[in-house]
Amino acid sequence: MDGAGVGGGGEAAWRKLSAEELENQYAPSRWVIRMGAEEALRTYKQIGIEATRKARDTCRSQLHVPYGDGDGEKMDIYFPDQASEALPFFVFFHGGYWQSGSKDESAFMVNPLTAQGVAVVIVAYDIAPKGTLDQMVDQVARSVAFVEKRYPSNKGIYLCGHSAGAHLAAMVLLTNWTKHGVTPNLRGFFLVSGVYDLQPLVFTSQNAPLLMTLEDAQRNSPQRHLEVARAQPVDPACPVLVAVGQHDSPEFHRQSREFQQALCRGGWRASFEELRDVDHFEIIENLTQKDDALTQVFKIQQRLKGLQSQDKVRGLSFFQTWCWGSKKCKHKSPPVSLARGISGNSQVVQTKIKT
């Protein structure tokens, strides 16, 4: 995967960084400007714990549902008030560099999304050192297959991952579903502040509990699957948003941009967006707010479903769907631009959505 992050001289850009610079680039808390690094980590965890407690106290739910035989293979499923299996399902994979984090502190978006009629699934997986990356990748794919089999009448499964969870969601995007006996009804991917080329991490302290070799990193890098293995989309119409916070590190920005570009070259409908005024943690913390970012996506996407199914548009500019309604968003009106033809066309269709 030496081609990933290649600069003008042919050498991968991250290889030009000193060991100290590389460590700094892949330490997201060091890039937070609103508070100190340790405080940012504590705040993120506390907000997640409080959001999860509120979700469990106020929402209909099924907790600790096993999707496999392993002790760590559990998920929490939260439902809207209306009883129905014909719902859109939002499946979330938490971050934590594959070595921390838990479904029990990751229900950030549950209350805002269930209020909009969306079922939310928070997935647990075996983090390091108990779990290996190969195991985690397999677990999250099986969790998605489980949701499809359990709720075959769903109105679409939308995957979202943050940080390490974005990497896992990206690997799900590239899954061969034959061995799972089902092809999930995937309708959208939201990859937030992720890492898609794992090679640089082999040379950082983050690798201590993971014990990744270069071969492990290459095998589990979605960027490599796109550029070397030439993976093809199961459903080219399934949109992918690759998002990063303004205050994420330059390496996180590079990784997100290059992955989105590789997706487009491979035939996916992919958009890249930098969300302004947020850091690596705030980008997810804000999902507890009903008027923020991702909580608007499903309402708008359902209105667009007719246009998309008739293939009247080539691509969706996700910036408005991601952040429309957010206090931090410069787009304050409901018009949505359908733009950026991923297939190479630049056709733009304007449509106004009533909400």
Active site residue 277: no
Number of residues that make up the chain = 355
Active site residue 248: yes
Distance of CA 340 to the CA centre of its chain: 21
* Residue bearing tokens 């029990």: 104
Q: How far apart are CA 59 and CA 80, in angstroms?
A: 7
Q: How far apart are CA 11 and CA 13, in angstroms?
A: 6
Q: How far apart are CA 147 and CA 142, in angstroms?
A: 9
Given 167, 225, 247, 280, the catalytic residue: 280
- Is the bond preceding 129 in cis, omega lying within 30 degrees of 0? yes
Given 163, 221, 256, 326, the catalytic residue: 163
Let me know: does 168 contact 194? Beta carbons within 8 Å.
no
Q: Which residues does 249 contact at the CB level (< 8 Å), separation at least 6?
A: 24, 25, 26, 27, 28, 30, 31
Given 104, 197, 216, 248, the catalytic residue: 248
Residue type, 284: I
Let me know: does 187 contact 241? Beta carbons within 8 Å.
no
Active site residue 29: no
Distances (CA, A) of 238 to 75, 85, 191, 224: 24, 22, 13, 20
**Which residues are part of the catalytic machinery?**
163, 248, 280
